[in-house]
Amino acid sequence: MWEWLQNTFADVWAQIVGVFGSINIVSTLLDIVLLTLVFYFILRLVRDSRAEQLLKGLLILFVVYLLAQALNLGALAFVLQLLFDNALILAVVIFQPELRRILERVGHSRIRLGSLSSMEEEAKMTLEAIDHVCDACELLQRHKMGALIVFERSTMLGDVAMTGTTVDAAASAELIGNIFFNKAPLHDGAMIIRDGRILAAGCILPLTDKLEISSELGTRHRAAVGMSENSDALVVVVSEESGTISVAQSGVLRRGLTKDELRAHLQKVLAPEEIIARSHKWFGRGKEGKTK
């Protein structure tokens, strides 16, 4: 009896060692981590969008399919089987906006390879552009003129810039004010700012599909949220009706900002802290970003 138990235990142990011995622990763990990150990224993109509701609907259909098979409901099971057999094609059609968003974020991301000096010069231009935008927004707010300004980040917005008029000029409060003057030809569109320079104006932005956005907000605000959903851009909006300054980022709209709050938020997102700390060396700037 004792000998039989020993032989049985030895056989079971040999099988366990054989199974785990054939597994490459490092590659398996890496595979699991990467797959988890992919699913997490996808779930973040579809959260709070129409895709979330569609996923819930597909899960319900899958449960119905399992019940149909268990209860021998042949016709219903057959129809649902056809549906799931073509699930990949249906997913591409149904989730086309979300898939496009994923590909845009992955494919349009840029890697900066410039020298330290060129990156510092670019940061300096960005800080100056932030100041000019804040000054212009204060002026437009006072005169109840609307504005829609997009700060390009890692997601390239060349295709959006092509929908407007190329400007390619240094940012200044006067130029921004002239572009958004309510009788100017480009005032209805969006302005794209790349690396501290005005790339284009009069651009058309994608509108958000969110239903929970207040009905009192107009097309500018819906375009701002839509642009921030489709890219990592930071979008500044000045309401023509109320003069309220808002910022859209990652699909979230923050309203009622003052000029100083706007500057602080733009600097926090667009400029590294160490660059802001050195900004006084460039052009005599204090911690709040105001000229001494």
Of 39-43, 84-88, 177-181, 278-282, highest mean pLDDT: 177-181
Residue 147, SS3 per DSSP: strand
Q: Which CATH architecture has domain 116-283?
A: 3-Layer(aba) Sandwich (3.40)
Residue 101's pLDDT band, with cuts at 50, 70 and 90, is low
Distance CA 292, CA 11 (A): 81
Q: Are 154 and 111 in contact (CB under 8 A)?
A: no
Residue 196, SS3 per DSSP: coil
pLDDT of residue 193: 95
- Of 137, 80, 259, nearest to 267 by C-alpha is 259
Query: Start-end ranges of CATH 3.40.1700.10 in the chain?
Result: 116-283
- Of 151, 141, 134, nearest to 239 by C-alpha is 141
Residue 245's pLDDT band, with cuts at 50, 70 and 90, is very high
Q: In whole numbers, what is the pLDDT of the chain averaged over residues?
A: 79
Give pLDDT tens digits for 277-288. Answer: 555 454 454 444
202's enclosing H/E stretch is strand 197-203
